[in-house]
């Protein structure tokens, strides 16, 4: 079963959400309208909450998780993902905040407490260190992720195109 309750928390889905039958969404997770969750994704909101904004997509094999409150993280780390975000295949997004209209490249890793502001493009394979903030409007590459240049207008438009494409694609799966 793709949607699973953990303790007293059950995933909440907005309108026209697609969750592939091979994906697993557990616990305190809210998926906004038009969100798509593709094959073999794991979204585990067991020890903290996960919120994913409208129109965002989580592509094949990605893992989204959180950190519990404890001795090493007094308040824990929930996961907040804005609207219109594209999370590429096999990404790991853990206990962080991702702004609106970001693209997380294939195989990228984002660690606890990191913040990606709006309109950030994170390259494939990049690593965002715990607590790091990525400023809006830049392309970041490498491990650790570093800004290489400002995004041009075409790239910013692509960030919005990408999520819109996935909204249309998931609609074809819902028919």
Residue range 13-26, pLDDT digits in tens: 999 999 999 999 99
Kindly indicate the confidence band of residue 136, based on its pLDDT and cuts at 50, 70 and 90: very high
- Report pLDDT digits (tens) over 52-93: 999 999 999 999 999 999 998 889 999 999 999 999 999 999
Q: Which residues contact 62 (CB under 8 A, 6 or more apart)?
A: 38, 41, 42, 87, 88, 89, 90, 91, 92, 93
Kindly indicate the confidence band of residue 103, based on its pLDDT and cuts at 50, 70 and 90: very high
Dist. CA 72–CA 12, nearest whole Å: 29
User: Is pLDDT at 124 greater than 80 in this prediction?
Assistant: yes
CATH architecture of 3-174: 3 Solenoid (2.160)
- Read off the tokens for 8: 């007293």
Q: Count other Cβ atoms within 10 Å, centred on residue 77.
A: 23
State the DSSP code for 118.
Answer: S
The domain ranges of the chain are: 3-174
Degrees to nearest 5, angle at CA 126 with 49 and 76: 25
Kindly indicate the confidence band of residue 100, based on its pLDDT and cuts at 50, 70 and 90: very high
pLDDT attached to residue 73: 86
Q: Is-contact 11 26, C-beta < 8 A?
A: yes
């Amino acid at each position: 079963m793709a949607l699973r309750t953990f303790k007293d928390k059950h995933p909440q889905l907005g309108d026209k959400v697609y969750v592939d039958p091979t994906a697993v969404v557990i616990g305190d997770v809210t998926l906004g309208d038009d969100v798509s969750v593709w094959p073999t994704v794991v979204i585990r909101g067991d020890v903290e909450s996960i919120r994913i904004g409208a129109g965002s997509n989580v592509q094949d094999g990605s893992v989204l998780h959180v950190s519990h409150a404890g001795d090493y993280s007094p308040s824990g780390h929930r996961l907040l993902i804005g609207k219109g975000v594209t999370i590429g295949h096999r990404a790991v997004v853990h206990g962080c905040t991702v702004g609106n209209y970001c693209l997380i490249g294939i195989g990228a890793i984002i660690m606890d407490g990191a913040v990606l502001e709006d309109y950030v493009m994170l390259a494939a394979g990049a690593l965002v260190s715990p607590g790091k903030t990525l400023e809006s409007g830049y392309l970041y590459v490498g491990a650790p992720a570093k800004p290489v240049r400002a995004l041009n207008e075409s790239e910013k438009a692509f960030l919005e195109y990408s999520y819109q494409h996935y909204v249309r694609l998931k609609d074809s799966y819902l028919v």
